[in-house]
Structure 1
Amino acid sequence: MSQNGHESTIRELYYRQITATLLSDLLHFLYEALRCSAKGKITVSFALLRKPLKENLFYLEWLLADPLSMIQAFESEQPSDKTIGSVSEVRKREIVRRAVEKTNSGHWFDADLIYDFRYNKQFSLGFENLFQKANHLVTSFRFLETEPANFNFVFSDESARYSQWNGLYSYLPIILLHTVEIVEGLLSTFAKREEGIDLTHIHNLIGFAHWLDSGPHSSQAAGALAVIKSSLLEVGLSCPSCQTEIFSSDESLTTLYNENAISCMACSWKFDLNVDSAQHAEQKNED
Structure 2
Amino acid sequence: MGPLNYLDIDRLSLVPEKYWSLHEFCFYLHDSLMEAASTYELSGSHLVIEDIVQEIITEHHPNIEEFDLIELLKDNELDEAYRQHIVGHTVLALLSDMHQFLYSSLEAFERRKFSVGFSLLRKVLKEHLVFLCWIVADETDFINRFEGDVYKTLNNLSKEKRIEIFDTSIEWIELTNMFDSNVLWSYIFDKNFSGGFEPVWQMATHLVTSQGIIKTKRYSLNFAFEDRSDDYYFELLYEKLPYLLIFLVQVAMKSLSKTCEVDKKVVGRFIISTVGVYEALCLTGKSHIAVLLRTFFKDFLHCMFCGEKIRLTKKKRPRLFVSQLIECQHCRVDNQFPLDWLMSKANLVVKENGDIDTLITSKPRIA
Shorter-chain TM-score category?
Answer: 0.7 to 0.9
* 1:257 counterpart residue number: 321
Aligned to 1:30, which of 86, 89, 102?
102
Query: Offset at 1:184?
Result: 2.0
Aligned with 1:192: secondary structure?
A: coil
1:140 aligned to 2:210? yes
Query: Offset at 1:122?
Result: 1.1
* Contact 2:104 2:117 (C-alpha < 8 Å) held by counterparts: yes
Gaps of 5+ in 1: 213-219, 241-248, 263-267, 278-287
Aligned to 1:205, which of 275, 289, 294?
275
Matches within 5 A, 1:104-115: 104-115=174-185
* 1:177 counterpart residue number: 246
Aligned to 1:101, which of 145, 166, 171?
171
Give, in whole Å, the separation in 1 of the partners of 2:267 and 2:114: 40
Matches within 5 A, 1:211-250: 211-212=281-282, 220-223=283-286, 225-226=287-288, 228-229=289-290, 250=312
Q: Give the letter aligned to residue 173 of structure 1.
A: P
* Contact 1:101 1:107 (C-alpha < 8 Å) held by counterparts: no
Give, in whole Å, the separation in 1 of the partners of 2:104 and 2:92: 19
Give, in whole Å, the separation in 2 of the partners of 1:271 and 1:156: 45
Q: Give the letter aligned to residue 257 of structure 1.
A: F
Note the alpha carbon deviations across 1:129-183, whole angstroms, 9 max, x for none. Answer: 0000000001112332111221111111246x31122211221111111111111
Aligned to 2:199, which of 129, 136, 156?
129
Aligned with 2:220: secondary structure?
A: coil
Cα 1:231–1:123, aligned 2, differ >3 Å: closer, same or farther?
farther
Query: Offset at 1:211?
Result: 2.0
Aligned with 1:157: secondary structure?
A: coil
Q: Give the letter aligned to residue 259 of structure 1.
A: S
Matches within 5 A, 1:33-48: 33-48=105-120
Bigger shift: 140-149 or 249-258? 249-258
Cα 1:270–1:139, aligned 2, differ >3 Å: closer, same or farther?
closer
* 1:244 counterpart residue number: none
* Contact 1:261 1:273 (C-alpha < 8 Å) held by counterparts: no
Give, in whole Å, the separation in 2 of the partners of 1:196 and 1:47: 33
Matches within 5 A, 1:79-94: 79-83=151-155, 85=156, 87-94=157-164
Give, in whole Å, the separation in 2 of the partners of 1:134 and 1:172: 17
1:188 aligned to 2:257? yes
* 1:54 counterpart residue number: 126
Percentage identity across paired residues of the two chains? 27
* 2:85 counterpart residue number: 13
Gaps of 5+ in 2: 1-72, 301-310, 327-334, 345-367
Bigger shift: 33-42 or 188-197? 188-197
Query: Offset at 1:22?
Result: 0.5
Aligned with 1:199: secondary structure?
A: helix
Give, in whole Å, the separation in 2 of the partners of 1:136 and 1:35: 21
Query: Offset at 1:78?
Result: 5.0
Query: Offset at 1:194?
Result: 7.9
Give the RMSD, CA atoms, in angstroms: 3.1
Aligned with 1:126: secondary structure?
A: coil
Aligned length: 250
